[in-house]
C-alpha cells in the first residue's frame, strides 16, 4: 500500500501569520496521525517562514508514525537532522528564496556531492530520498548517490493531468519502472490532490509514499481535517 505523509507546512504558515500558537502545529500532527496519516512531512527553510527548526525538534518528540524532513542540505539543515534523526530525510535543491520546491536534483552533475550527504545521513540511521524530475538520466545517476529512494516531483503531472492523464503520467511511469529495476524505492509529491492522486497511484508501479500538504490543507477547510485525510487515504486504497 502507498503511504500518505501529510505535509503540515501550511499549518505553520497560518500559525505564524498571527504570532501566537494557533493552530498548534504539534496538535495538528497528532490529529493527522489519529485521523489516518501514516507520516508527517515538514520542510524547514532558512527563513523559518513556516515550519521552524524548533518545530522539527518538538515534532520528533511526538510523531509516532514517520517523520520526513525535507530540505536543501545546508550546514544548518544537516545539523538539525543530526539532532532529531528523522526516519526519512528528503533532499531538495531549493533556493533560499523559493516559494516552494520547483526542480529536482541534477544527479549527474551533483552525484559526488550527494553521495557524501547520503552516506552521512544513512550513517545516523535515516532513510534518504532524493527529489527528482521524471528524467531517466537523473534516475539512473541517483543510484550512484547511494540513496534509498527517489521522490518524483509531480508538478508537471498535475498541470497536464486535466488535459491528458495518460500523457501526463508517461514520463513518471517510465521513471518509476527504471527506479524499480535499479532497486530504488519510490516516493512522489507536489500538487497532488483528490482529482489526480488515484490515477497516479493506480498506474505508477512501486509507489511507496506520497507527501501532500497544500491541497490537503485547502480541502480540509471545506471537508474538515479528519474527513479529508480519509478521502486521501481512499485514493490510495487500491493496490497497484
Q: Which residues are catalytic?
A: 43, 70, 190
148 within 8 A of 168, measured Cβ to Cβ: no
The residue with cell 519502472 is: 177
Spell out where the chain has E strands: 3-7, 39-42, 67-71, 88-91, 127-132, 149-153, 185-189, 207-212
Neighbours of 28 (CB within 10 A): 20
User: Crossing angle, helix 9-16 and helix 214-223, to 10 degrees?
Assistant: 70
51 within 8 A of 44, measured Cβ to Cβ: yes
Choose among 80, 136, 89, 79: nearest CA to 114: 89
Q: CA triplet 81, 84, 86: central angle to 5 degrees? A: 75
CA 209 vs. chain centroid, Å, equals 8
91 within 8 A of 117, measured Cβ to Cβ: yes
Amino acid at each position: 500500500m502507498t503511504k500518505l505523509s501529510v505535509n503540515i507546512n501550511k499549518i505553520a504558515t497560518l500559525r505564524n501569520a498571527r504570532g501566537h500558537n494557533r493552530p498548534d502545529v504539534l496538535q495538528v500532527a497528532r490529529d493527522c496521525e489519529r485521523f489516518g496519516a501514516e507520516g508527517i512531512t515538514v520542510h524547514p527553510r532558512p527563513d523559518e517562514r513556516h515550519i521552524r527548526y524548533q518545530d522539527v525538534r518538538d515534532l520528533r518528540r511526538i510523531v509516532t508514525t514517520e517523520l520526513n524532513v525535507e530540505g536543501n542540505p545546508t550546514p544548518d539543515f544537516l545539523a538539525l537532522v543530526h539532532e532529531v534523526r528523522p526516519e526519512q530525510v528528503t533532499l531538495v535543491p531549493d533556493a533560499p528564496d523559493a516559494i516552494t520546491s520547483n526542480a529536482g536534483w541534477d544527479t549527474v552533475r551533483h552525484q559526488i556531492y550527494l553521495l557524501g550527504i547520503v552516506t552521512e545521513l544513512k550513517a545516523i540511521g535515516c532513510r534518504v530520498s532524493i527529489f527528482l524530475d521524471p528524467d531517466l538520466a537523473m534516475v539512473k545517476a541517483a543510484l550512484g548517490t547511494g540513496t534509498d529512494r527517489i521522490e518524483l516531483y509531480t508538478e508537471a503531472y498535475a498541470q497536464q493531468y486535466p488535459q491528458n492523464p495518460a500523457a501526463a503520467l508517461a514520463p513518471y511511469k517510465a521513471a518509476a519502472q527504471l527506479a524499480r529495476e535499479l532497486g530504488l524505492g519510490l516516493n512522489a509529491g507536489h500538487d497532488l490532490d483528490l482529482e489526480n492522486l488515484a490515477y497516479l497511484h493506480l498506474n505508477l508501479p512501486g509507489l511507496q509514499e506520497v507527501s501532500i500538504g497544500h491541497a490537503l490543507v485547502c480541502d480540509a477547510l471545506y471537508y474538515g481535517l479528519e474527513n479529508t485525510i480519509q478521502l486521501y487515504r481512499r485514493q490510495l486504497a487500491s493496490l497497484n
